[in-house]
Amino acid sequence: MGFVSFVKSKTFFKHLLLILASFLVLIFITSFLLKIYTRHGKEYSVPKITGLKLQDIENSEQLRHFELMVMDSVYKEGVEWGTVLTQDPSEGSLVKSGRKIYITVASQSGETVLMPNCKDKSIKAAVQSLIDAGLRVGTIMYRTGEINGIVTNQRYRGKEINSGSDIQYGERVDLIVEVHSTTQAVSMPDILSKTENDAEVLLWKAGLNTGRRTYQGKQEAGHMRVVSFSPNSQRLLIGSAVNLTLVNDSESAYNKQIEAFKKSDKDEEPLIEENDTDDVELPQNIE
């Protein structure tokens, strides 16, 4: 049988069909196996794990499709050791099984930093020195003296701390400031809509203390903003404590509460005149 005759025969077409069928079956099997191997099309929603303890979720059912990777541990005041601070991918992300979730957890203690020298500095300069060192202001206390507005002492947990001493990152340091009169008034800084950290720094530099804090909505670092404060006055007695109400800026109530506070009556008169030198002492003043 010649080649042309063979090509035109039923046997040729039968073999050709078998080859094509085998090829299609092979493609189907390969695709099916590849789909199983890569789990193509099967995605899982990443759960929210921030705020949870690492030891409680490592072997939990909700994370059976993922792998946890601790990228860093950071000391955060008031947060229990092992608490998850950040996660990547974020909550609700759709990822394939086996995807790594990178997390940051709270460490048991903070890194050690050197205590800066705040003595003989203005309150603003002293506050900035603490912030630059990774520390915070505890309470600003005042006493009368010949020099006005100069820090004369720095204390940690009730005891004087010398510059250059080791202190844990994020700790609070109390400042003692000498003023002509403990009854002078200072201007209230513009803290409305500021983040919590920015607001407290502005208050400290103005010579005021932070008081009670009320949080509304989900607490997230960098997203809690001041929507109201009290006393609601343009002038306050030096060293006064200012209470803050903070709302997550992603909450729908955030802008509404700010506008409502702006419309509220504001005390235009200072609580006390700067030239009033009566011997009035505050709880945080010292002799």
pLDDT tens-digit map of 242-264? 999 999 888 888 988 999 898 88
**Residue 16 — very low, low, confident or very high, per pLDDT cuts 50/70/90?**
confident
Q: What is the mean pLDDT of residues 166-185?
A: 91
Residue type, 91: E
User: Is pLDDT of 175 > 90?
Assistant: yes
Contact predicate 150/177, CB 8 Å? yes
**Residue 38 — very low, low, confident or very high, per pLDDT cuts 50/70/90?**
low
Q: What pLDDT is attached to residue 36?
A: 60
pTM > 0.75 = no
**Residue 1 — very low, low, confident or very high, per pLDDT cuts 50/70/90?**
low
**Residue 41 — very low, low, confident or very high, per pLDDT cuts 50/70/90?**
low
Which single residue is written with the structure tokens 């003296």? 145
Is pLDDT larger for residue 18 or for residue 259?
259
3-state SS of the chain is: CCHHHHHCCHHHHHHHHHHHHHHHHHHHHHHHHHHHHHCCCCEEECCCCCCCEHHHHCCCHHHCCCEEEEEEEECCCCCCCCEEEEEECCCCCEEECCCEEEEEEECCCCCEEECCCCCCCEHHHHHHHHHHCCCEEEEEEEEECCCCCEEEEEEECCEECCCCCEEECCCEEEEEEEECCCCCEEECCCCCCCEHHHHHHHHHHCCCEEEEEEEECCCCCCCEEEEEEECCECEEECCCEEEEEEEECCCCHHHHHHHHHHHCCCECCCCCCCCCCCCCCCCCCCC
Q: What pLDDT is attached to residue 91?
A: 86
Q: What pLDDT is attached to residue 155?
A: 96
Whole-number Å distance between alpha carbons of 200 and 138: 11
Q: What is the mean pLDDT of residues 222-239?
A: 92
- Tens of pLDDT, residues 86-125: 888 888 888 888 888 999 888 766 678 899 999 999 999 9
